[in-house]
Amino acid sequence: MFTITDKLQTVNGKEYSLPAVNNMTRDELNNKLHYLGDQILKLRMQEAMLVDMRDSLDNLLDELDLYDARDEGDIN
């Protein structure tokens, strides 16, 4: 549930009464959204790197399994 109120905000030394939702003005909401967007981007980049790392390990393990099977005579 949202609570809409007025919030006093000082702009260039002058105080204004601005509408706010849950005590956040439009500028504060936009700043929070920008910050969250940056955090999401960083997390997506980390996720992509970790997936690539996991895929590299999977490929290496697949190759090792093939070499092990070849050494044991299972693959010609």
What's the pLDDT tens digit per position in 20-45?
A: 999 999 999 999 999 999 999 999 99
pTM above 0.85, yes or no: no
Burial readout 24-58 (b: 16 or more C-beta within 10 A, e: otherwise): ebeebeeeeeeeeeeeeeeeeeeeeeeeeeeeeee
If pLDDT is split at 50, 70 and 90, which confidence band does 70 have?
low
